[in-house]
Amino acid sequence: MVKTEHKIVRLSAADYIRDFRNAERIVGYCKECENYNTIWACPPYGFDTLERIRHYKYVHLIGIKVILDDVTRHSPTNAREQKEISYRIMKDVREDLDKQLLEVENNHPGTLAFFAGNCFICHPEECTRRIGKPCIHPEKARSSLEAYGFDISKTASELFGIELQWSENFLLPEYFLLVSGLFSDYEFTKAISSTVHKVLS
């Protein structure tokens, strides 16, 4: 059993890029992940990520705190179950949210959505990048903020007032924090708040 809380922060895209982006360090962590260069939503990319976002005026950051009860936290008995349960919880929360972020993106041309974490559209082992073919769902797939070099730990602590937590010895954390984002030239904090509330209610 889980429950959710959310918070939305809007700031200038230039400030977020200046104060919270460290591409060399963050993408360096990505290189240690099994998804690096095997999933289209993950780096490396065939374009300059900074050039793709630096012209935007605003960034809206959506923090979803997914709070776990004790039964859920203690349910994994091995590393595989820990990973599967974590994956399922985050996928369930993100399913409708990601769709709504894409709808906002589509309704405001030029807006760019970022999802919280891994791509859930295809199973990681089935991504066509592994066989050198283009993404089969480019209209749905989006990268994460960390894939573009943003420090999510710093984002969480300084902008949301929440410290990230991690699993330990098969015990799931008290909560997960999912951070999504929208880069845009539009200011629509109220619309996003309404959308998120509707998705999570």
What pLDDT, on a 0 to 100 scale, did the predictor assign at position 187?
Answer: 83
The answer to whether residues 122 and 136 touch, using CB atoms and an 8 Å cutoff, is yes
Largest CA distance in the chain: 47
How many structural domains is the chain composed of?
1
The answer to whether residues 104 and 194 touch, using CB atoms and an 8 Å cutoff, is no
Which two structure tokens, joined as six digits, stand for 127? Answer: 């991504």
Decide: residue 59, CB within 10 A, 0-12 exposed, 13-18 middle, 19+ buried: buried
What is the number of alpha carbons within 13 Å of residue 88 lying toward its C-beta? 12
Q: How far apart are CA 134 and CA 137, in angstroms?
A: 9
Q: How far apart are CA 172 and CA 62, in angstroms?
A: 22
* Sign of the dihedral through C-alpha 107, 112, 118, 124: positive
Range of the domain at 37: 2-200
Which two structure tokens, joined as six digits, stand for 170? Answer: 């098969």
Per-residue pLDDT of the chain (201 residues; tens, 9 = 90+): 578 998 999 999 999 999 999 999 999 999 999 899 999 999 999 999 999 999 999 999 999 999 999 999 999 999 899 989 998 999 999 998 999 899 889 888 889 999 999 898 988 889 999 999 999 999 999 999 999 999 999 999 999 999 999 998 889 999 999 999 999 998 877 777 777 766 665
What pLDDT, on a 0 to 100 scale, did the predictor assign at position 108?
Answer: 86
What pLDDT, on a 0 to 100 scale, did the predictor assign at position 26?
Answer: 95
The answer to whether residues 170 and 176 touch, using CB atoms and an 8 Å cutoff, is no
H or E segment at 12?
A: strand 2-12
The model carries a pTM of 0.91
